Amino acid sequence: MRLKDKVALITGGAAGIGKATAKVFKEQGAVVCLCDVNEEAGLVTAKELGCTFSKVDVSDRQAVQTWVVKVIEQFGRIDILVNNAGILRDGLFVKVQDGEIVKQMTEEAFDLVVKVNLKGVFNCTQAVAPYMIRQESGAIVNASSVVGMDGNFGQTNYVATKAGVIGMTKVWARELGRYNIRVNAVAPGSIQTEMLSSMPENILTEWKKHQPLRRFGQPEEVANAYLFLASEEASFVSGAVLRVDGGMVVGT
C-alpha cells in the first residue's frame, strides 16, 4: 500500500495509460480522482475502479480550477498529480512532390496539440501547486514521450509539446523543491493503447523492428513508473525523466 490514503489526481484517466494508472494507484491505497473529456468512458472507469470522475478539458483553465477546488472541498488535500492527458494530430511539417509543396501541418493541428499537451499540463500543475505548497508536500508526474527527447518523423506538434513538458518538469523541480514537492516526467515509447491501435498496421510492424525487446509496452508498465515516482520510494528523485520504452531508439 505505497500510496495509502494519498489523494491522487489523474488527467486523461478514462482509458489507456490513465485508466491503468488509476487501477494501480487504487490497489496501492490511493484515493483516486479522474478527469477526461470522454465522459461516457470516464464514468464507466470510475464505477469500475471506485474513483471519482469529472469531465474536464485540461486546456480550459477555468474547468481545471473548478475540478481542483471540488477535490479540495471533498478530500481536503491533493498529494499526487499525474498529468497524463494528451492527444495526437500527426502530419508532415511540409510535404513536397515534384518540387511543389502539396501538403503541410495545419496551424489548427499545431495549436490544438499545444493547447492540450503543453498548456494542459501547465494549467493543471498551476492549479494544484498552491495546495501542495500549503501542505508542504506533493508529487507531480508529467507524461512526456521518448519522441520529446529524440524527435520523430511527422510529429512536429507532438514532439514540441513533449519536449516542452520535459523543460517545465525541470523548472518546477527547481522552483517547488523548497516546499518538499517533487516533479518528474515519464517518457513512454510505443505503448499498446487505443492511440497506438489507431495507427496503420504497416507502420506498427515497422516500429516493432526498432524495439530491442521485440514488443510494444503495456499501459500497466507505464502506470508502474508513475507509481514509483509518486511514491516515497522516489523520495530523493526530482527533475528526472524516466524512459519506459523497452530500449527503443527512434528513427534508427
Give how many domains the chain has, as a whole number.
1
Q: How far apart are CA 146 and CA 196, in angstroms?
A: 14
SS3 breakdown of the chain: % helix, strand, coil, rounded to 5? 50, 20, 30
How many angstroms separate the first and last alpha carbons of the chain? 40
Q: Does the active-site annotation cover 158? A: yes
Q: Is 177 within a domain?
A: yes
Q: Is 49 within a domain?
A: yes
Q: Is 2 within a domain?
A: no
Range of the domain at 155: 7-244
Closest of 231, 234, 226, 217 to residue 13, by C-alpha = 226
pLDDT tens-digit series, residues 157-206: 999 999 999 999 999 999 999 999 999 999 999 898 877 777 778 878 87
Residues of the chain with pLDDT under 50: 252
What pLDDT is recorded for position 152? Answer: 87
What pLDDT is recorded for position 208? Answer: 80
Core vs surface per residue 159-180: b (16+ CB within 10 A) or e: bbbbbbbbebbbebbeebeeee
pLDDT tens-digit series, residues 43-52: 999 999 999 9
Q: How far apart are CA 168 and CA 173, in angstroms?
A: 8
What pLDDT is recorded for position 249? Answer: 67
Q: Is 251 within a domain?
A: no
What pLDDT is recorded for position 252? Answer: 47
The helix/strand/coil state of 238 is coil
What pLDDT is recorded for position 212? Answer: 87
Q: Is 10 exposed, middle or buried (0-12, 13-18, 19+ CB in 10 A)?
A: buried
What pLDDT is recorded for position 251? Answer: 53
Q: Is 57 within a domain?
A: yes
Catalytic choice (131, 158, 179, 226): 158
Within 8 A by CB and 6+ apart from 227, the residues are 2, 3, 21, 24, 25, 28
Q: Is 221 within a domain?
A: yes
Q: Is 61 within a domain?
A: yes
Q: What is the CATH number of the domain that holds 73?
A: 3.40.50.720
Q: Is 249 within a domain?
A: no
Handedness of CA 9, 143, 247, 14 (dihedral sign): positive
∠ CA 75-5-53, nearest 5°, is 50
